[in-house]
Amino acid sequence: MVTIMLMGQLQTTEGERDVACQLPEPMTVRQLIQRQGETMEPVLTLMKQKKLLVTVNKRIASEDTRIQDGDAIKLVAHDGMGGSGLAPTF
């Protein structure tokens, strides 16, 4: 089991901020996010735009970092200028 914690204003399309995922085999952070499907679409979009900070087990990482069972992943949106990277929604 791997835990993904979405920090700041990040959340899934269902409004969740903590997601527990089964990890059938070692994979990258990006692959894990992609496997979650539509619920993680906002996170995947920020990842593609390079507006996502990643830590794995409290260490700075990237979307290409390989993860394994038991890892804790934290994701934080940013815009490279100290902002959240998220536009307001109306």
pTM: 0.83
Q: What are the sequence ranges of the domains in the chain? A: 2-77
Q: What residues pair up with 2 in beta bridges, in sequence order? A: 21
Say whether domain 2-77 belongs to CATH 3.10.20.30.
Answer: yes
Contact 88, 9 (CB under 8 A): no
CA dist 1 and 25 (Å) reads 11
Q: Which two tokens stand for residue 85?
A: 């990277």
Q: Per-residue pLDDT for the chain (90 aa), expressed as one digit of tens each?
A: 999 999 988 999 899 999 999 999 999 999 999 999 999 999 999 999 999 999 999 999 999 999 999 999 999 998 655 555 555 444
